[in-house]
Amino acid sequence: MFGWSQNSDKISVLLQKQKYDQAIELLKKEIQNNPGNMFLKTQLANAWAKAGHLKSALELFSQIGEEFSKTGQFTKALSIFKQMERIYPNQLWIDEKIRTLVKAKSLAPAPTAQPDPVPEVVPSRSRAGEDPAEDHTGDHEGGIEISNLDGGFEIEISGGTLRTETPKPQDPLAESPLFKAFSDEEFQAFVLGLESKSFEPGEILFSEGQSGDSLMVLVSGQVRVYVRKPSGEQEQVRIMPEGSFIGEISLLTQKPRTATIVAMSYLEVLELDRAKLIDMSKYHPEIPNILKEAYFARANSAEEERARKA
């Protein structure tokens, strides 16, 4: 997500009202002030697509996807290319982008576990004509000065500089425990079967009691999870962040949805439906079994049980 600005709410309202041209102009202004904000750019590409400006949308989507690929954000890159496939289907060049991305990720060696980085203290450099051992704590506020660096930050303190690294965010698909049991071939089959969808703030992804035939991966944005109390009222039981899986219980058991899911913000998801799961299971029969083993424990969470008894 991007930081709140005066235009943030206006953009969301305009997109919900399908006033795409107005939303596009506001998004362009926001991007001028935040040129590196990929969320804003994705919103703009989607608005262009919905307004019928397909060439502009595809060009921007392609740039965003390539940038996510370069920075190792596999799931986000896949979602972008899948969005391109959704608005411009049956294009070999888009299909090739997706297959190249998935194959490269499948063939990449699994990352080895690394210990948490230990902050490094580097002796302070003395100023010209000053004793290195002299205390300069009072030279700046609180005796501490923080500098942002690529991949971390640096704190100057009395007697030295503390350097530390910012941990890289986990990729919801590529680094999920679910896929550690998949072979490269199974992983490729699963990922290629995913479809891209988007939701506006407040939009319901699915409701409790509905038949369920798909699971979703939250690529960008968050959702609220509600369950129905005995009184009939809806109670929020949790917020699920970017990278979460939802809907897999109904997909596997063919039982109705156990909760109502509502988008908190603009939301991008990757979805796998039952038809695709059945199809890939013909060639990769372990896939549904792996899904069952990994996520069956979520069928009756403690939060949902408490809300239903309240």
Give 192 or 293, the one with higher predicted confidence.
192
Statement: residue 148 has pLDDT above 50: no
**pLDDT higher than threshold 50 for residue 37:** yes
CATH of 8-107, one of 1.10.8, 2.60.40, 1.25.40, 2.70.150: 1.25.40
CA atoms of 175 and 241, how far apart (whole Å): 16
Alpha helix segments (H runs only) across the chain? 8-16, 20-33, 38-50, 54-70, 74-87, 92-107, 184-192, 248-253, 274-281, 286-295, 302-309
pLDDT digits (tens, 9 = 90+) for 220-236: 889 999 999 888 899 99
177-309 shares the fold of 8-107? no
Task: State residue 19's pLDDT score.
Answer: 94
Q: Assess whether pLDDT exceeds 50 at residue 12.
A: yes
Q: For 91-101, how does the pLDDT look when each residue is reduced to its tens digit (9 = 90+)? A: 899 999 999 99
Q: Give the model confidence (pLDDT) of 39-74 as tens digits.
A: 899 999 999 999 999 999 999 999 999 999 999 899
Classified as helix, coil or strand, 221 is coil
- Contact status, residue 261 vs residue 225, Cβ threshold 8 Å: yes
Domain ranges of the chain: 8-107, 120-165, 177-309
| Per-residue pLDDT at 195 | 92
pLDDT of residue 113: 47
- Of 170-179, 246-255, 262-271, the range with the highest mean pLDDT is 262-271
Dist. CA 104–CA 193, nearest whole Å = 17
Q: Residue 25 — pLDDT band, cuts 50, 70, 90?
A: very high
Over residues 150-157, mean pLDDT: 47
- CATH number 2.60.120.10 given to 177-309: yes
